[in-house]
Amino acid sequence: MDVPGHVIFRLHLVRELLQSAAERAAEGLPTDRMQVVLQLDHSTELLLVTLLPLAGKHPRRQDNLPVLLGQLIEAEPSLASHRPAIERIRRLRDRVQHDGLIPSSEDARTAALETESFARAAVRAILGRELEELTLVSLVKDEEIAERLRRAEEFLKSAHHRAAIEEAAVAFELGSRKILAEAIPLTRALSGRETAGRFLREIGEAARRAASTSRRNPELAEFARRFADELRDREFWLRDLLEPLGRPLLLAELGIPLRDFRRFDEIAPEVVLTVGDDARTYAPEEWTPSREEAAYALDFATRALLVLEKWVEEHPSLRTRRA
């Protein structure tokens, strides 16, 4: 079954909720175990309302979890064996939410295992896919780039954090340049210097307008004129100074937050493209990134490429016509 994009987004969130709950289930703090139970119940309900339409059912907003669960089991009877566990977790959730019950570590771990088992079985039964297959990477349209991101996922799973970040960095570098080159002039897409120059020209034009319209304030007009002249005289020097900001500014203009890109740029190694788009990464031999850094790099690269692909789709008139 071809899985719609909105379904993949939701199931990806379900997977993240389950993973987070499993990691926190063993924590010693009572609030962690309480949050685990609430989180598991929420992930189950999100799973049900996501899968039911694909199973031919039409849940209503007022349907609670037991009703939703019954509808899915009616559509796929093989899931009936999971019903006692899911209903028990719902009762545990009610006691946590309404009575302030603090679940034991054993209850929290058991609930996490049983909820994950149900989620995997439900996705397999309705979609014929494994839960791990339904990642945001599967939404990336460029197959070459998606393959690199899948390799990064495999490296992350096997705890090869450095390799995971390197693959994610190369995927983002190749993918972002390729996507941008399809949508806007090549020089603007690839040249931070060009973007910096555009930025400086816009500032200069604003200064010249200020100089010509500030007749009532001669001192302001003179300052604006001198500023515009100085900017023009130092344009090449300023371009060199601002060039490293060119690409981040362009990406921000297209919807990728500067803060997120900056963190990714701090984590990822330098990527150098050679003839034929072969890519090499350069980082110190002693570099040993953490799992958290690898997970962030992969998540950023995937989400950023999806943002760029969506931007291109929404601006078809700006695509570069190629011979």
Question: Could you report the per-residue pLDDT of 256-298, keeping only the tens digit for each?
Answer: 888 889 999 999 998 887 766 678 888 888 899 998 899 889 9
Q: How far apart are CA 130 and CA 121, in angstroms?
A: 9
pLDDT above 70 (res 237): no
320: phi then psi, degrees, rounded to nearest 5: -75, 130
Q: How far apart are CA 41 and CA 96, in angstroms?
A: 11
- Count the neighbouring beta carbons within 10 Å of the beta carbon of residue 33: 24
Specify the pLDDT at position 212. Answer: 76
Q: How far apart are CA 172 and CA 178, in angstroms?
A: 10
- Proportion of the chain above pLDDT 70, given as a percent: 86
Specify the pLDDT at position 275. Answer: 66
Could you report the per-residue pLDDT of 242-256, keeping only the tens digit for each? 656 667 777 887 888
DSSP, res 271: E
Q: How far apart are CA 248 and CA 264, in angstroms?
A: 11
Q: Within the chain, how many helices (H) and strands (E) appear?
A: 13, 2
pLDDT above 80 (res 199): no
238: phi then psi, degrees, rounded to nearest 5: -70, -35
Contact call for residues 241 and 250 (beta carbons, < 8 A): no
Q: How far apart are CA 84 and CA 90, in angstroms?
A: 10
Specify the pLDDT at position 109. Answer: 94
As to burial, measured by CB atoms within 10 angstroms (0-12 exposed, 13-18 middle, 19+ buried), residue 161 is buried
Q: How far apart are CA 248 and CA 246, in angstroms?
A: 6
Q: What is the mean pLDDT of residues 225-239?
A: 73
Specify the pLDDT at position 1. Answer: 66
Residue type for 12, please?
H
Q: Residue with structure tokens 């009572």?
A: 30
Q: Residue with structure tokens 């020209």?
A: 201
pLDDT above 70 (res 96): yes
For each of the domains in the chain, give its residue range(s) and CATH number, in order of start.
5-134 (1.20.120.330), 139-318 (no CATH)
What Rg value do the Cα atoms of the chain yield, rounded? 26
Which residue pairs from 143-149 have beta carbons closer than 8 angstroms and sit at least 24 positions apart in sequence?
Answer: 144/174, 145/171, 145/174, 145/175, 145/178, 145/305, 148/174, 149/298, 149/301, 149/302, 149/305
Q: Residue with structure tokens 């890519």?
A: 279
Contact call for residues 183 and 311 (beta carbons, < 8 A): yes
Return the structure tokens found at 134.
């339904």
pLDDT above 80 (res 186): no
Q: What is the mean pLDDT of residues 225-233?
A: 77
Cβ neighbours for 281, distance < 8 A, ≥ 6 positions apart = 166, 169, 170, 269, 270, 271, 272
Contact call for residues 1 and 37 (beta carbons, < 8 A): no
Work out the mean pLDDT of the chain and round it to a whole number.
85
Contact call for residues 263 and 300 (beta carbons, < 8 A): yes
